[in-house]
């Protein structure tokens, strides 16, 4: 497994991030433990979760599954760089009381304590804001974060789904306070969805944030969806099926799969490997439901893409161009 330094921190993390969003809803506790064991055995040391994972009435269940895995011992917790998130409504009925969601100082305090209990640990390595909060002053957020760092309950703060301007605002506010600021950003980024190249990734690189792309297969349609359906495998459904309906998308995906079939490569592995060639990227988040899916993702880390193949991918999925030149007419 390849490793890199997470932004401007001293943390060494794997270039593949284990996303746990399927633990509970789609993979039971025993299966989730097996995937985490396999990931750690393969050298994946960066695990990502969120307080809302488990969804619906089972919000928090994913953190509990990770906590029960840590409780098995074997230095599991010490070997993992653990990230979780705060923002979403944690009430079972979806009707929160005031201050029970988003990232006010009060909810940050409550949410950290609840996540620590579910995870069965005394600290969180990367505590991430799942979305921006337009109602809470950024100075209040940093005051809460600094307190948690002083208490040893978190090491660093990160963001998710932040626009470029919010990354800049947050880190400039941190600088004024003498706070450390954001060290990572999770953003939607893949071969199809490349808008992050315009401002989010440049802002992250300017401020020394590691970039952790989510949905690297764009809801599954970069994972060989057409070939699987034609071969009698799992048919496109849900998010993937809807995205295939976008104008010209099916044709682009067919060209993508035909290209990789010619090279004897797996589409999902190429989509992950492509992200690892992009400037500023720490590693993509994968959310395996099975051990086979994890093994495929691990193979992608050592997959080398030729210049010819990269150029062909660029023709099928052209990028936005560098910022600010891309904004010009």
Specify whether 53 is catalytic. yes
Annotated active-site residue in 3, 53, 87, 256? 53
Beta-bridge partners for 158? 128
- Cα–Cα distance between 45 and 50 in angstroms, integer? 17
- Cα–Cα distance between 309 and 263 in angstroms, integer? 9
Angle at 94 between CA 92 and CA 99, to 5 degrees: 95
- Cα–Cα distance between 104 and 106 in angstroms, integer? 5
User: 14 and 7 in contact (C-beta within 8 Å)?
Assistant: no
Residues designated catalytic: 53
């Amino acid at each position: 497994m390849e490793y890199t330094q997470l932004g401007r921190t001293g943390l060494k993390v794997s270039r593949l991030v284990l996303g746990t969003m399927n633990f509970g809803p789609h993979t039971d506790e025993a299966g989730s433990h097996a995937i985490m064991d396999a990931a750690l055995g393969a050298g994946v040391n960066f695990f990502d979760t969120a307080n809302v994972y488990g969804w619906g009435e089972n919000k928090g269940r994913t953190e509990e599954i990770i906590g029960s895995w840590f409780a098995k011992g074997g230095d599991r917790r010490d070997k993992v760089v653990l990230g979780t998130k705060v923002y979403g409504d944690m009430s079972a009925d979806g009707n929160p009381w005031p201050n029970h969601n988003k990232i006010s100082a009060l909810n940050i305090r409550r949410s950290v304590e609840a996540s620590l209990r579910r995870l069965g640990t005394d600290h969180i390595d990367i505590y991430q804001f799942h979305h921006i909060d337009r109602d809470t002053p950024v100075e209040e957020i940093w005051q809460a974060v600094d307190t948690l760092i002083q208490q040893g309950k978190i090491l660093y703060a990160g963001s998710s789904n932040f626009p470029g301007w919010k990354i800049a605002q947050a880190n400039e506010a941190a600088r004024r306070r003498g706070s450390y600021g954001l060290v990572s950003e999770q953003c939607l980024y893949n071969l199809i969805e490349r808008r992050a190249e315009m401002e989010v990734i440049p802002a992250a690189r300017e401020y020394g944030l590691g970039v952790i792309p989510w949905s690297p297969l764009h809801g599954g349609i970069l994972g060989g969806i057409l070939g699987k359906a034609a071969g009698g495998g799992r048919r496109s459904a849900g998010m993937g099926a809807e995205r295939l309906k976008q104008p010209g998308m099916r044709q682009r995906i067919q060209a993508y799969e035909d290209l990789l079939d010619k090279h004897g490569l797996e589409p999902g592995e190429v989509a992950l490997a492509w992200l690892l060639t992009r400037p500023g990227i720490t590693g993509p988040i994968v959310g395996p439901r099975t051990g086979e899916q994890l093994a495929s993702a691990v193979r992608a880390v050592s997959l080398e893409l030729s210049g010819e193949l990269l150029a062909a991918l660029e023709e099928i999925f052209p990028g936005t161009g560098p910022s600010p030149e891309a904004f010009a007419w």
